Amino acid sequence: MRILIAEDDSILADGLVRSLRQSGYAVDHVRNGVDADTALSMQSFDLLILDLGLPKMPGLEVLRRLRARNSNLPVLILTAADSVDERVKGLDLGADDYMAKPFALNELEARVRALTRRGAGGGPTVVRHGALSFDQVGRIARINDQVLDLSARELGVLEVLLQRLGRLVSKEQLVDHLCEWGEEVSNNAIEVYVHRLRKKLEAGGVRIVTVRGLGYCLEKEAKESKDAQAGAPGAPPAMPASHYFK
């Protein structure tokens, strides 16, 4: 999950960035409304945390422009405790939630989880693939109900592969989803993350397939493959790996 924070208070913003990064999110930060509007026009995010009192362009105008582009991006507004009118205007313009300053970080993180869950369309929060399960809200992966010890980057790689199950994911796409502005991540680093994740998934029979020069894909579930190879009743014929990379 990639989050944009639009907040001009550097102390508050630094605390939010550190807290959310520790929870496994990729986080970008802008300090004024013009930069926020530009970022939202050019980049893809999963959540916007928006301060209403931004310099250069008010937060309400950033929100109005976002919704004018027909974006359904979840938006959490941050506002001063006495700005009741602005809160109402923000909700009327399409904000999904708001928090009055000051606030507790653990409450903000809970609201972030709720909004990212809502942004996923209200679908299941736990994705399953064979013996693997991944809680997208709690950001916990399990093999046969045993919690996997994964780094934030490994979790990010797993999340992208599960979201695109049956489709090829390039190294460039992984960098785009996992990395923040100004962060240089090489293809070699991506290979390291994938290698570590692959070793941790193998115990549950979950395999990451590498297509040299193109990218990665989670292999179809072992049971499906065996049924297809054996010609089990009702099973589709076995297909080459390239069939799934569309």
Q: How many domains does the chain have?
A: 2
Residue showing tokens 């929870």: 23
What's the pLDDT at 213?
A: 80
On the question of pLDDT at 209 being above 70, the answer is yes
Tokens of 245: 């990379």
On the question of pLDDT at 245 being above 60, the answer is no
Which of 119, 149, 182 is the endpoint of a domain? 119
When pLDDT is cut at 50, 70 and 90, the band that residue 49 belongs to is very high
DSSP letter for 202, please: G
pLDDT digits over 158-199, tens only? Answer: 888 887 777 788 888 787 776 655 566 677 788 888 899 989
DSSP secondary structure of 10-56 = HHHHHHHHHHHHHTT-EEEEESSHHHHHHHHHHS--SEEEEESS-SS
The SS3 assignment for 65 reads helix
Which of 119, 143, 174 is the endpoint of a domain? 119
Contacting residues for 232 by C-beta, under 8 A, at least 6 apart = none
On the question of pLDDT at 63 being above 80, the answer is yes
Higher pLDDT, 99 or 180: 99
On the question of pLDDT at 230 being above 90, the answer is no
pLDDT digits over 75-88, tens only? Answer: 999 887 566 777 78
On the question of pLDDT at 40 being above 90, the answer is yes
On the question of pLDDT at 36 being above 80, the answer is yes
pLDDT digits over 155-165, tens only? Answer: 888 888 887 77
Residues 142 and 237 placed together within one structural domain of the fold? yes
Looking at residue 55, which CATH number applies to its domain? Answer: 3.40.50.2300
> Which residue range forms the structural domain that includes residue 221?
126-244
When pLDDT is cut at 50, 70 and 90, the band that residue 150 belongs to is confident
Looking at residue 196, which CATH number applies to its domain? Answer: 1.10.10.10
Tell me what the pLDDT averaged over the chain comes to: 79
What's the pLDDT at 8?
A: 92
On the question of pLDDT at 246 being above 90, the answer is no
Residues 49 and 84 placed together within one structural domain of the fold? yes
Which of 86, 119, 152 is the endpoint of a domain? 119
Residues 76 and 100 placed together within one structural domain of the fold? yes
Task: Convert 203-242 to b/e letters by CB count within 10 Å (16 or more is b).
Answer: ebebbbbeeeeebbbbbbbeeeeebeeeeeeeeeeeeeee
Residues 68 and 136 placed together within one structural domain of the fold? no
Tally of CB atoms within 10 A around 40 = 23
Residues 111 and 153 placed together within one structural domain of the fold? no
- pLDDT over 90 for what percent of the chain? 18
What's the pLDDT at 217?
A: 85
What's the pLDDT at 220?
A: 64
Residues 206 and 154 placed together within one structural domain of the fold? yes
Residues 102 and 145 placed together within one structural domain of the fold? no
Residues 172 and 69 placed together within one structural domain of the fold? no
Using alpha carbons only, how large is the chain's radius of gyration in Å? 20
- Its pTM stands at 0.61
Q: For residues 161 and 169, is the Cβ–Cβ distance under 8 A?
A: yes
On the question of pLDDT at 244 being above 50, the answer is no
Q: Is residue 236 reached through a cis peptide bond, with omega within 30 degrees of 0 on the bond before it? A: no
Residues 112 and 7 placed together within one structural domain of the fold? yes
Q: For residues 75 and 91, is the Cβ–Cβ distance under 8 A?
A: no
Residues 108 and 137 placed together within one structural domain of the fold? no
What's the pLDDT at 38?
A: 94
Residues 100 and 144 placed together within one structural domain of the fold? no
Residues 20 and 109 placed together within one structural domain of the fold? yes
Count of helix runs (H) and strand runs (E) in the chain: 9, 11
Mean pLDDT confidence for 28-35: 94
